[in-house]
Structure 1
Amino acid sequence: MTTDEEVGLRERKKQRMYQAISEAAITLFLEKGFEKVPVAEVAAAAQISKPTLFRYFPTKEDLVLHRFADHLDEAARVVTARPAKRSPLDALQRHFLDGLERRDPVTGLCDNVHVLAFHRLLYGTPSLVARLYGYQEQSEKVLGEALSEAAAGTPDAEAPTLTARLAAGQIIAVQRILALENWRRIDAGESAEAVWPDAVVTANRAFGQLRSGLTRYA
């Protein structure tokens, strides 16, 4: 019989393999360019076979987007874990502002040279941008489910699931646009410290627009 400890050990080993393969790939992509590195070269760098690599990462783009895997359900987790008296939108706004303050790369407000190099690789490769939209679509789905659960026991409990999904789409889009704008300014040469005050003002304004249009979750 397999114990919980053995399952946990196996899962940790699997996650370490994901991380090692992804980091080997990103190092090569940054050095040579995404399009110029064949998957076979990534497999060789990670010391695994090509079929083994594809068992972990179905597409070449997934090798890069793995860095976003932990963030896929982040917005949903924020909604689920929020204090009882805090609305979903308030919790998401607070979380984004906290991310700006700690210069979380996901907010775009990070001028670390390694983060900038990764973002240039990501936003400069059309196939990666297209794959990123797929990740964001999954984020919308799980956030929509979290918003539906958050409405349970409220006057809006009978609202259609599509209503929550539409709200989730707008929230994820706002976060994406804010992050992209922050990154563009930093990529143009501004420091994170210089951009931060404007980023906070813009984020508050954006969430204010959501709040005025999404009263169901405000």
Structure 2
Amino acid sequence: MTEELGLRARKKRQTAARIWSVAVDLCSERGFDHVSVAQIAEAADVSKMTVFNYFGTKEGVIVGPMEQHAADPARAVRERRPGESAVAAMRRQFLAQIAERDPSIGLSGDPRALKVRQLVNETPTLAHRMVIFHMRSIQLLADALAEETGDMLLARVAAAQLTGARNALIMENHRRAIAGDSLDEIAKGCADAAERAFDLVEKGLQGYPGNA
């Protein structure tokens, strides 16, 4: 039974990846607004219902994989070490993601990742979807901080600063990738920039929210 469940999960991941790849290629070639879900389904050799079951909406097909990481900052805070500040925990998580060349922070060797970023830049509906994604990430982090401090206002202030620094670093990675810089060059520059960015936030938050 365990083996069967594992095979089923692997096939689902493969199907989702195929739908995403086809959708990104079609939308990059024709423009997001000129590609239908039916066309994506046909090219991926699945039904329209399968596309909706996996991603919910056409926008979700393109940016869904990115949205799976909305809770990354909140998880870093919740799982941080005893006595570790929220800034230190997010810095440590981010540096680990750099070392792993994590696609979710803009370090991907897949050309389609750049196509997604370009589609977001060119398509208002996708850009709006990403704004909602970022707002959700901030709220998830604020919830995690407020659970400890009991102060949602300051939790939101801190969450906005932390996610703002993180998002700025990710945007710089995308910018450099689009400019043609190599993955190793981008990763090295990002690690140096991350140290400076989180240092700046740490000075403002000064160890917030205290010992865990």
Same topology, TM > 0.5: yes
For 1:207, the equivalent position in structure 2 comes to 198
Change in CA separation of 1:189 and 1:46 when aligned onto 2, cut-off 3 Å: closer
Change in CA separation of 1:58 and 1:203 when aligned onto 2, cut-off 3 Å: same
Aligned length: 205
Partner Cα separation in structure 2 for residue 110 and residue 50 of structure 1: 29
For 1:77, the equivalent position in structure 2 comes to 75
C-alpha displacement of 1:211: 0.9
Partner SS, residue 71 of structure 1: coil
For 2:167, the equivalent position in structure 1 comes to 176
For 1:154, the equivalent position in structure 2 comes to none
Do the aligned residues in 2 keep the contact of 1:89 with 1:217 (CA within 8 Å)?
A: no
Deviations, residues 27-81 of structure 1 (Å, cap 9, x unaligned): 4223433222122212333455546644554432111111123201111111112
Do the aligned residues in 1 keep the contact of 2:59 with 2:129 (CA within 8 Å)?
A: yes
C-alpha displacement of 1:210: 1.0
Change in CA separation of 1:24 and 1:187 when aligned onto 2, cut-off 3 Å: closer
Matched, 1:217 2:209: yes
C-alpha displacement of 1:192: 2.3
C-alpha displacement of 1:184: 0.9
- After TM superposition, what 4+ stretches of structure 1 lie above 6 angstroms from structure 2? none
Do the aligned residues in 2 keep the contact of 1:79 with 1:147 (CA within 8 Å)?
A: yes
C-alpha displacement of 1:26: 2.6
Amino acid at match of 2:199: G
Amino acid at match of 2:95: L
Out of 153, 170, 183, the residue aligned to residue 162 of structure 1 is 153
For 2:120, the equivalent position in structure 1 comes to 122
Partner SS, residue 162 of structure 2: helix
Deviates more, 1:24-33 or 1:187-196: 24-33
Partner Cα separation in structure 1 for residue 55 and residue 100 of structure 2: 30
Deviations, residues 83-114 of structure 1 (Å, cap 9, x unaligned): 22322211100111121222222222334434
Percentage identity across aligned positions? 34
Matched, 1:185 2:183: no
Partner SS, residue 68 of structure 2: helix
Partner Cα separation in structure 1 for residue 173 and residue 190 of structure 2: 7
CA RMSD of aligned residues (A): 2.8
Structure 2 unaligned regions, length at least 5: none
Do the aligned residues in 2 keep the contact of 1:111 with 1:186 (CA within 8 Å)?
A: no
Partner Cα separation in structure 1 for residue 47 and residue 107 of structure 2: 37
Amino acid at match of 2:192: V
For 1:64, the equivalent position in structure 2 comes to 62
C-alpha displacement of 1:122: 3.1
For 2:39, the equivalent position in structure 1 comes to 41
Deviates more, 1:84-93 or 1:20-29: 20-29
Do the aligned residues in 1 keep the contact of 2:76 with 2:89 (CA within 8 Å)?
A: yes
Deviates more, 1:51-60 or 1:203-212: 51-60
Partner SS, residue 84 of structure 1: coil
Normalised by the length of structure 1, the TM-score is: 0.78
For 1:113, the equivalent position in structure 2 comes to 111
Normalised by the length of structure 2, the TM-score is: 0.80
Partner Cα separation in structure 2 for residue 135 and residue 13 of structure 1: 26
Change in CA separation of 1:19 and 1:109 when aligned onto 2, cut-off 3 Å: closer
Structure 1 unaligned regions, length at least 5: 152-156
